Amino acid sequence: MRVMMLNAQDARKLRPSMWAAVILVAGIIAVWLVQLGLNMVLTQDAYHLRELKIERKTLTTEVQIIQEEVDSLASPQNLADAANRLGMVANPDSVLLDIESDRIFGTPEPVSAEDTAVASGNLVANAALGATSEFSAGALYASGFENGVTTSDDSATEVILQQGRIPASPTR
């Protein structure tokens, strides 16, 4: 290495350019700004991701609440109790219609609670039973159904079967 003594004029010529310094500083600031921008975007995405995760958790909880409610309402225990409260009993006298041979099997008989071999109310334990069917006037009103059923008296109309055969449909 060599050290040289210069006069003032030469020394000024060798002084670093101001522009270079400005460009360097500007470059550094630009890089810093880009990094800041990227960080902001990443942070923003992280917040968004967090929000989505919270939303997913909320929805999962909501699905589980609804699923458990459906499970409970659809359980045979609830259905048996609901049917019982509606005054329904199991009728062992089933009637089958054979479409191919146009035949009726079995005799339809009304059944009373005393005749049925099966208990109408539920006898099978279910600790998971939560929501149950409700038939109060308020619940029926809220469901949009009318409380009560309108029936027409068609007892005078007699259906005559030919030896247990299903009457032919007039449409064919």
Partner 1 sequence: MGNHAAVTRRLSAFLVVLALLVVALGYRLVDFQVVRAEEIQEKSLERRSQTYVLRALRGDIQDANGEILARTVFRYDVNASPKTVGPVYRTVDGVRTEYSVAEIAMDLAPLVGLSVEELLSRLEGDSEYSSLAKRVDAATYDAIKSLGVPWVYFDTLSDRLYPNGAVAGNLIGFVSSDGTPLAGLERQYNTCLAGIDGQETFERSAEGVRIPTSNITTQPTQNGGTLNLTIDSNLQFFAQQVLADTVSELNAEWASAIVVEVETGKILAAAEAPSVDPNDAGASEAENRGSKILQFAFEPGSIMKAISTSMVLDTGTATMYDTVSAPDHLYLDYGEYIKDSFGHDEFNLSLAGVLRYSSNTGIYQFGVQIDKETRYNYLQRFGFGSTSSLNFEGESSGILRPVEDWTYSDNYTHLFGQGIAVTSLQMAYAYQAIANGGVRLDPVMVESCTSPEGELIYVPEQGATRVLSEESADTNLLLMEKVVEFGGVGKTAAVDGYRVAGKTGTAEIREGEGYGDNYAISFYGVAPVDDPQFVVGVTIYKPEGVTNSAKATPPFKAIMSQALKHYRVPPSTTTSPDYIPSNRDGEPGA
Q: How many CB atoms lie within 10 A of CB 83?
A: 16
The verdict on 161 binding partner 1 (CB under 8 A) reads: no
Q: Examine residue 119 and tell whether it contacts partner 1 (CB under 8 A).
A: yes
Instruction: Give the nearest distance from C-beta 1 to partner 1 in angstroms.
Output: 7
From candidates 11, 31, 56, 105, binder to partner 1 by CB under 8 A: 105
- Indicate whether 86 belongs to the interface with partner 1 (CB under 8 A): no
Beta-carbon contacts of residue 41 (< 8 Å; ≥ 6 apart): none
- On whether the CB atoms of residues 136 and 74 are closer than 8 A, the answer is no
- CA–CA distance from 35 to each of 40, 41, 62 (Å)? 8, 10, 40
Footprint of partner 1 on this chain (CB under 8 A)? 1, 3, 42-43, 45-46, 49, 60-62, 64-65, 67-68, 71-72, 74-77, 80, 92-94, 96, 98, 105-107, 117-119, 122-130
